[in-house]
Amino acid sequence: MTQTASDWVKHHFAACALDWTPQAARGTAHVLYAPVVLGEHDIAQCAALLSDEERQRADRQLTFDGRARFVQRRAFRRYCAALATGAGIDTDLSRIRFDETTTGQPAYNGARGVAFSFSSCQLGVMAGWSATHDIGVDIEDPTREVETVDMAKRFFAPSEAAVLAEQATPERETHFFQLWTLKEAALKSIGHGLAYGLEAFAFEVSPQLRVASAPEAFGGPSRFDPHLIESGGSSAALVLHDRLPSP
């Protein structure tokens, strides 16, 4: 029997994807990570699942690496949606379609009540989903060069920037990426992106991770549950948002 692209993608991610769900979040959320693959056959199989619009977007990428990461991200979305719905091996992944909200966040109507979040960097792709909470995930490559103090002064809360300014390298760099991933994940958990402002959330990593401030429009700090994920040489975070009760 000829193997379809959908079958290939499912077998590929089943073999290489890693469960990055923090222990404290098990039962509430699922977090999955897959390393980037750059083989032409691998990318062709992933690309076969995409819509015409997605393939056009992929073709507009300036480099092969950029195209490879784009199509893998979109194939991984479909694989995770199949896992989240329990459809599993019988699902044709090419039939799964994600829409985008007005703020650019992915939404899958085939899994009512399940919130998804996705992120990627040079190292790999990351997905998170939850049937009980709104969710945000973010992954960054902590080896890339960043002017940590200047960036923190521009985009972080004053309390966070002050702590970073007092730290020495490499502790400062580690702390910077922890805060960055937490902030991006938190913004995604409320359905927004960077345009909402990284300073909207403030975190304290030490001595215990906690949300120091969060928008009152979304319930304030007590509504958020942050988790740091240090795996695979990356810096990553998961933030769960307790959904506000309906009026």
Helix (H, G, I), strand (E, B) or coil at 226: strand
Buried b or exposed e, range 105-120, using 16+ CB within 10 angstroms: bbebeebeebbbbbbb
**Percent of the chain scoring above 90 in pLDDT:** 75
Packing angle, helices 171-189 and 148-155, rounded to 10? 30
Q: What token pair was written down for 196?
A: 């909402």
pLDDT at 88 exceeding the cut of 70: no
In angstroms, the first-to-last Cα distance of the chain is: 54
In the block, which residue shows the tokens 């997605």? 54
pLDDT tens-digit map of 192-245: 999 999 999 999 998 899 999 999 999 999 999 999 998 878 899 999 999 866
Q: How confident is the model at residue 187 (pLDDT cuts 50, 70, 90)?
A: very high
pLDDT tens-digit map of 14-66: 999 999 999 999 999 999 999 988 789 999 999 999 999 999 999 998 898 99
Task: Give the number of residues written for the chain.
Answer: 247
Handedness of CA 145, 150, 155, 158 (dihedral sign): positive
Whether a cis peptide bond, with omega within 30° of 0, leads into 245 is no
* pLDDT number for residue 2: 63
> Cα 176–181–185 angle (5° rounding)?
150
Question: How many C-beta neighbours within 10 Å does residue 182 have?
Answer: 29
Alpha helices in the chain (DSSP H): 5-16, 40-47, 52-59, 64-85, 148-155, 158-166, 171-189
Helix (H, G, I), strand (E, B) or coil at 46: helix
